[in-house]
Amino acid sequence: MKMRSLGQGGLTVSELGLGCMSLTGIYGAAPAEADSIALLRAAFDQGVTFFDTAEAYGPWTNEVLVGKALAPIRDKVVIATKFGFDINPDTGARRGGTNSQPEQIRKVAEASLKRLGVEKIDLFYQHRVDPAVPIEDVAGTIRDLIAEGKVSHFGLSEAAPDTIRRAHAVQPVAAVQSEYSLFHRAPEADLLPVLQDLGIGFVPFSPLGAGFLTGAITRDTTFEQGDFRNMVPRFTPEAREANFALVDLVTAIAATKQATPGQIALAWLLAKAPWIVPIPGTKHLSRLTENLGAAQVPLSAEDMARIDAQSAAIPLTGARLPEAVLKMTGL
């Protein structure tokens, strides 16, 4: 797999990473630990060097799993984790808000280092912007952690362009993470131009539209209890019916490329810019192999123009997240 650079500080990762959130829930039941470890090792064997986790996934259990799985190849991979949610330190329960107070960032950094079993966090994202803490204070804290050798690179997740500029002025931002796919193209308007201007890498999460763009979700699909898609407006039966036009388009293009719909969705992101690194997640080895095959699907300028124009003409229905969750983003 080819490598790509995130930011201007020397952070180099595989062109496709692996989002690890689903390995400890969120999309229904978590796999057995042995199966998750096997999946993470298989990803590395197939060229993935970039793995994305967070203290909030579990909480905490995802970092432990990722650290355990990647320990034998620690010097060959980049591990990104995140701080910023308000989590009860005794119970692990999410309190529902954000907490990026400088002392809290330091506590999370120390705890994440231990859970991951590493000496340095490769990429430390603010998971959500905290309206109670100036972003300059957040960036300054990460700057200090970098100087102390505990963090290598600074990232932001779901942050607005002005917030990114202010943070970057204090401590260079290597990467910004936000949802971006053919199912959610809002970042193209304001976010991508700022990242290009500042030389910041972009890491799209949910690059397959939470599985919708793979074509595996049908009119009759029911999600497991505990799967967050049960609460997402764009996955209601009515919205799903309207949004199938996008899947039909991607499926038709895939047929002309001897590829799967999911591979086209990922190849489209890879072709958008050389500083974009999608992180599709999965619990299944077969889907992992399929996703990584997207790196071998070439899309010409004509292909991209067709996909852009035809997908933009399809009216999509339903918000990408529940309203309460959307309010927590900085967008």
Gap between the Cα atoms of 159 and 202, Å rounded: 12
For the packed helices 102-116 and 135-147, what is the interaxial angle rounded to 10 degrees? 40
Active-site residue, from 27, 57, 125, 180:
57
- What is 220-244 written as a DSSP string? T--PPTT-GGGG-GGGSHHHHHHHH
Is 180 in the active site?
no
303: Cα within 13 Å, side-chain hemisphere: 19
- What is 271-298 written as a DSSP string? HH-TTB----B-S-HHHHHHHHGGGG--
Gap between the Cα atoms of 317 and 243, Å rounded: 6
Pull the structure tokens for residue 81: 């984790």
Q: Which residues are catalytic?
A: 57
